[in-house]
């Protein structure tokens, strides 16, 4: 592989005009496609195989034209102090509002609070429910404006009016902190390279890669039913890895220049050596992201594949466009050890080389491996403790900032009707195979009334055929509580008994039941996913490092870092530690897909640093250095760059903490803290300590396996042999 990539790097350097033209053309094509593509609607959130989804599909069949997946809005009214909603003036205002709301072309129906008995017991709060033909993201601006205007008219009449539901759902924005993240990355690159030109190369190539990836996703969003979060995730990961991959190749290029090689030769060798590490690091990220498809949640699968595509583009750009731009930069990118005018003094020719910080740190770890290992493991273990209290759920209006009308509507409904009113359960009774459907509907309602935590059970509403009915159940607890989850399971258990007696199916659906089913599905998929992703990456790393213990150590270190990161997420988003600093206005359960998502993404990113750092160690070892010295050599060449890469990745991820979307905010924080733990504790401390303790055993590989594995030559030995650079006999491994 090294020889092929070496030739690719030299070719890209020589034919830089052609390479640059291809990537600019691809960027233009993707941009035109994104601009001309139809606007994407709201990504459909289907969970195949769950009871909630089966009930949802049954509603589509048995209640045609009801728009079961259409947007809903709850317009909540509160009377002024000392008044009631039943007062003639307030009642007239509400009825006028209901009439205005009914005029929209996309409105299916609007419930009158007084006819639907949607007035609180104390008479101070009432609500009207608006149902639409299309989903919240597909709802046109005119319908949203009409909804807001109707509410404003009622406010001007003296009522407090707030709007809940998903009708006002908006595309999330990330805020200015994303730009700050990129600015931090730029500063780190300037400090690392000491040159604006060298620092600008990784940023430019990463932005081009992300531009192509996100534009392609935008262009295909409507056709492939991709949600807005898909492009945000692809941008987040693509930007981080794109900068890192280019950073490693530019750093290796400068190191090759420092050894006296010509610029074209240095570019070829940089791609042949560091580029090999980029390929395998990128493969681990792609495996982790594509592996999300095993969960069988279409939205998560699409997010993973789209992000994986952006990572693949980042790898290709690093292997081709980076050497092409190095050709354009010429002498403006200086050899390693030479500083540009920007950061001042360069090292004098006869001045003895001073050990850098990476060398000094690695030497310390090699001398005190047990102490460093224990300190690192205990520290990560302590950070992971909050993860034992992990509670999972999906965000609802109760997790919105208190400044939003959705959150204020949520609070008003809780105040007037109880916390469970915000998470009603819809029970679908399929009595098509029963002799007396009406009796089945009545029996089901009576069974549910006898369960704990049930406040209200509405009469069954049958369809035209009379063989299927819906029953609305209002729990006594809030949607994300364990009590409500137990109620859902209780209704399903009662339904099993009804099926045995009457052959009727009782299914529970609604957003609350769907959230519960999603959480359970994700929990069930976590272990198989972990086995698949870690297993495939483990095999890949055996090929890269030609070792059993090094990949095993890499996987165990990853588990430590991801558990510590989950602990930090629980502490901030569930317990509320530093929540004000992070902009978390409402604590609550951790998003259901967070654990499995972090396992996938963090594993891929963790292996980046493992590959970049340890391949340098193995390169030194196979060229004759003792194991302990190889660790120091690996840090001398790689620690500074890995540190810069980790800081950049943390800055990019942390930039998404400013998002208005709680899911994106949580992912940004979780990935940023996971990179910190993995790069600075696991890879910089635990890894060298373990390798120092293992010595030559770290690189042991059974002879039969050594013969069976393909020789991918990540260390670039083929390049050394071909050029006669190194006549030293390789260490036996």
Residues linked to residue 460 through DSSP beta bridges, in sequence order: none
- Of 540, 1, 542, 13, nearest to 273 (Cα)? 1
**The two structure tokens encoding residue 399:** 């997790």
Spatial contact of 614 and 686, defined as CB atoms under 8 Å apart: no
For every residue of 587-607, DSSP letters joined together read: --PEETTHHHHHHHHHHHHHH
Q: Using only C-alpha atoms, what is the Rg of the chain?
A: 30
The pTM score is 0.77
Distance of CA 149 to the CA centre of its chain: 36
Spatial contact of 673 and 646, defined as CB atoms under 8 Å apart: no
Spatial contact of 476 and 451, defined as CB atoms under 8 Å apart: no
**The two structure tokens encoding residue 5:** 């990539």
* C-alpha span between 104 and 98 (Å, rounded): 11
- Computed from CA positions of residues 297, 302, 308, 311, in that sequence, does the dihedral angle turn out positive or negative? negative
Return contacts of 43-46, CB within 8 angstroms, 24+ apart.
Answer: 43/137, 43/225, 43/226, 43/227, 43/228, 43/229, 43/230, 43/299, 43/302, 44/69, 44/135, 44/225, 44/298, 44/299, 45/299, 45/514, 46/298, 46/299
pLDDT at 733: 33
* C-alpha span between 393 and 533 (Å, rounded): 24
**The two structure tokens encoding residue 321:** 């466009």
Task: Assign 456 to helix, strand or coil.
Answer: strand
- The answer for residues whose C-beta is within 8 angstroms of residue 641's C-beta and 6 or more apart is 192, 247, 248, 251, 612
* C-alpha span between 75 and 54 (Å, rounded): 29
* C-alpha span between 402 and 410 (Å, rounded): 10
Q: Beta-strand (E) ranges in 71-159?
A: 72-78, 107-110, 125-132
CA torsion, ordered 510, 511, 515, 521, to nearest 10 deg: 50
Spatial contact of 619 and 613, defined as CB atoms under 8 Å apart: no
* C-alpha span between 580 and 414 (Å, rounded): 24
What burial class does residue 14 get, using C-beta atoms within 10 Å of its C-beta: 0-12 exposed, 13-18 middle, 19+ buried?
A: middle
**The two structure tokens encoding residue 402:** 């208190």
How would you label 162-175 residue by residue, b for 16+ Cβ within 10 Å and e otherwise?
Answer: bbbbbbbbeebebb
Ranges of residues in the chain with a pLDDT under 70 are 38-46, 65-70, 135-138, 169-178, 222, 225, 227-229, 337-354, 395, 399, 585-586, 660-661, 713-733
What is the DSSP code (8-state) at residue 119?
B
* C-alpha span between 96 and 539 (Å, rounded): 68
With vertex at residue 388, the alpha carbon angle to CA 383 and CA 392, rounded to the nearest 5 degrees, is 110
- Of 537, 522, 662, nearest to 598 (Cα)? 522
**The two structure tokens encoding residue 419:** 């916390």
What's the pLDDT tens digit per position in 361-378?
A: 999 999 999 999 999 999
- Of 300, 188, 272, 238, nearest to 604 (Cα)? 238
Element (H, E) at 656: none
Task: Assign 458 to helix, strand or coil.
Answer: coil
How would you label 309-328 residue by residue, b for 16+ Cβ within 10 Å and e otherwise?
Answer: bbbbbbbbbbbbbbbbbbbe
Q: What φ, ψ does residue 350 adopt, rounded to 5°?
A: -90, 0
CA torsion, ordered 613, 617, 619, 624, to nearest 10 deg: 170
pLDDT at 345: 46
Task: Assign 230 to helix, strand or coil.
Answer: helix
**The two structure tokens encoding residue 395:** 């965000």
Residues linked to residue 78 through DSSP beta bridges, in sequence order: 125, 160
**The two structure tokens encoding residue 205:** 């190539």
Return contacts of 384-390, CB within 8 angstroms, 24+ apart.
Answer: 384/560, 384/563, 384/564, 384/566, 384/567, 385/567, 386/567, 386/568, 386/570, 386/571, 386/574, 386/575, 387/563, 387/566, 387/567, 387/570, 389/570, 389/574, 389/575, 390/566, 390/570, 390/574, 390/590, 390/595
* C-alpha span between 90 and 225 (Å, rounded): 43
């Amino acid at each position: 592989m090294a020889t092929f990539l070496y030739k690719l790097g030299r070719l890209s350097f020589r034919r830089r005009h052609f390479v640059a033209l291809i990537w600019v053309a691809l960027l233009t094509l993707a941009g035109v496609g994104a601009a001309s593509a139809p606007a994407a609607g709201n990504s459909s959130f289907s969970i195949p195989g769950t009871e909630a989804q089966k009930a949802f599909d049954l509603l589509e069949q048995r209640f045609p034209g009801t728009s079961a997946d259409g947007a809903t809005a709850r317009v909540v009214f509160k009377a002024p102090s000392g008044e009631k909603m039943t007062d003639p003036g307030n009642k007239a205002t509400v009825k006028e509002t209901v009439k205005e709301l009914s005029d929209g072309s996309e409105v299916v129906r609007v419930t009158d609070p007084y006819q639907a008995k949607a007035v609180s017991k104390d008479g101070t709060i009432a609500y009207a429910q608006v149902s639409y033909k299309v989903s919240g993201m597909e709802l046109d601006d005119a319908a949203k404006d009409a909804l807001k205007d109707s509410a404003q008219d009622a406010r001007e009449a003296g009522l407090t009016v707030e709007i809940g539901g998903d009708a006002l759902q908006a595309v999330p924005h990330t805020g200015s902190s994303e730009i700050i993240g990129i600015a931090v990355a730029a500063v780190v690159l300037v400090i690392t390279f000491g040159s604006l030109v060298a620092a600008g190369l990784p940023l430019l190539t990463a932005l081009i890669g992300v531009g192509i990836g996100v534009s392609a996703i935008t262009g295909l969003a409507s056709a492939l039913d991709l949600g807005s979060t898909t492009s945000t995730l692809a941008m987040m990961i693509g930007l981080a890895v794109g900068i890192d991959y280019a950073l490693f190749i530019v750093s290796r290029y400068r190191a090759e220049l420092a050894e006296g090689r010509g610029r074209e030769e240095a570019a070829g060798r940089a791609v042949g050596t560091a580029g090999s590490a980029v390929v395998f690091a990128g493969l681990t990220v792609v495996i982790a992201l594509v592996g999300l498809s095993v969960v069988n949640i279409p939205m998560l699968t699409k997010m993973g594949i789209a992000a994986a595509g952006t990572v693949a583009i980042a790898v290709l750009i690093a292997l081709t466009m980076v050497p092409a731009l190095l050709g354009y930069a010429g002498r403006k990118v200086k050899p390693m050890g030479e500083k540009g005018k920007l950061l001042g003094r360069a090292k004098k020719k006869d001045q003895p080389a001073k050990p850098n910080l990476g060398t000094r740190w690695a030497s310390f770890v090699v001398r005190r491996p047990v102490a460093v290992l224990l300190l690192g493991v205990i520290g990560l273990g302590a950070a992971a403790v909050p993860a034992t209290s992990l509670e999972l759920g999906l965000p609802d209006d109760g997790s919105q900032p208190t400044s939003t009308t959705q959150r204020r509507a949520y609070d008003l409904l809780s105040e007037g009707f109880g916390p469970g009113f915000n998470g009603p359960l819809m029970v679908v009774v399929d009595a098509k195979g029963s002799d007396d459907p009406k009796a089945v509907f009545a029996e089901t309602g009576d069974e549910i009334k006898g369960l704990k935590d049930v406040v209200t059970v509405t009469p069954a509403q049958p369809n035209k055929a009379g063989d299927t009915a819906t029953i609305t159940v209002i729990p006594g607890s809030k949607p994300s509580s364990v009590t409500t989850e137990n109620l859902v399971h209780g209704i399903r258990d009662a339904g099993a008994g009804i099926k045995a007696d009457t052959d009727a199916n009782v299914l529970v659906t609604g957003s609350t039941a769907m959230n519960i089913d999603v959480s359970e599905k994700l929990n069930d998929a976590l272990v198989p996913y972990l086995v698949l992703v870690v297993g495939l990456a483990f095999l890949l790393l055996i090929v890269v490092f030609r070792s059993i213990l090094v990949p095993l150590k890499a996987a165990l270190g990853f588990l430590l870092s991801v558990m510590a990161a989950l602990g930090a997420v629980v502490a901030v988003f569930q317990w509320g530690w530093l929540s004000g600093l992070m902009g978390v206005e409402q604590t609550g359960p951790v998003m259901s897909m967070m654990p499995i998502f972090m396992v996938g993404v963090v594993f891929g990113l963790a292996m980046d640093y493992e590959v970049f750092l340890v391949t340098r160690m193995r390169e030194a070892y196979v060229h004759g250095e003792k194991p302990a010295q190889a660790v120091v050599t690996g840090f001398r060449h790689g620690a500074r760059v890995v540190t810069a890469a980790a800081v950049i990745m943390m800055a990019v991820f942390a930039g998404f903490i400013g998002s208005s979307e709680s899911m994106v905010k949580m992912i940004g924080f979780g990935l940023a803290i996971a990179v910190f733990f993995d790069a600075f504790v696991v890879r910089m401390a635990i890894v060298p300590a373990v390798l120092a303790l293992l010595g030559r055993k770290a690189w042991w590989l059974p002879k039969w396996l050594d013969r069976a594995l393909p020789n991918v030559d990540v260390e670039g030995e083929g390049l050394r042999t071909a050029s006669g650079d190194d006549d030293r006999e390789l260490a036996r491994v």
